[in-house]
Amino acid sequence: MAKLVLTVGGYVLGNLLLPGIGGAIGGAIGGYVGGIVDQQLTPDQTVYGARLQDLRVQSSSYGSVIPTLYGKGRLASNILWMRGFDEEVRTETQTVGGGGKGGGGSSRQTTNTVSYHYYCDLAVSLCGGPIASVPRVFADGNAFDPAHVGAMRVHNGGEAQMPDPLVQAVEGADRTPAYRGLAYVVLERLYITPYGNRLPQLTFEVTT
């Protein structure tokens, strides 16, 4: 606030003393002095990062064709189940200035940076089972970083397949299908902030 007031005041005063160039010089000096005054009055600042505003899902539709794979292939996925996003707030504090002997030196200024990080749990279908393995995963066309997921469980789609324990814990034992005959993957605590706070386009390399 002081910077704005002194910038305008310096411009007006400079223009009176030296019409034309005096306004620019006076405004620059006023802005500089006002910035120092603002630092003294408000030494602590808080900067907020981007926050998730809406839900963007890669693909989730009823009636999608379940592919059948022979050998080895790279498949897109269809979301079977997803739990709401989990928000984690992180605050980093950085202090500058305040040095000098005997209390001298520049004034101390503290900047708090607040960032928001998001995680989600989801299950995605692959193809008709049974399958042998999922050697590789890709996110937005690039190799998926294993550090971006807490746990990944592959259900091979056999006829003896059991419900996923996470989905069962959330939805209840009587409301969780086993998806027998369907190969699918459960991604637990998927970190989506590196993908722009959205679900990345996931594809999977599958062998049968």
User: Can you give the pLDDT at residue 103?
Assistant: 46
- Structure confidence by residue, pLDDT tens digits, 50-108: 776 655 555 566 677 889 999 999 999 899 999 888 889 988 888 876 655 554 455 67
> Could you tell me the pLDDT band of residue 133, with boundaries at 50, 70 and 90?
very high
Tokens of 69: 């794979």
Q: What is the DSSP string of 55-118?
A: ---S---TT-------SEEEEE-EEEEEPPPEEEEEEEEEEE---SGGG-SSPPEEEEEEEEEE
Domain boundaries, the chain: 2-42, 52-207
Mean pLDDT of 123-147: 95
- The answer to whether residue 187 scores a pLDDT higher than 50 is yes
Pairing outcome for strands 86-96 and 109-128: antiparallel
Mean pLDDT of 22-37: 61
Tokens of 155: 């259900």
Lowest-confidence segment of 2-16, 52-66, 92-106, 168-182 by average pLDDT: 2-16
- The answer to whether residue 44 scores a pLDDT higher than 90 is no
User: Can you give the pLDDT at residue 65?
Assistant: 85
One-letter amino acid of 196: G
- Structure confidence by residue, pLDDT tens digits, 69-79: 999 999 998 99
Mean pLDDT of 184-188: 97
d(CA 168, CA 172): 5
Mean pLDDT, all residues of the chain: 81
**Residue 152 near residue 119, CB atoms below 8 Å:** no
Kindly report whether the global pTM for this prediction surpasses the value 0.85: no
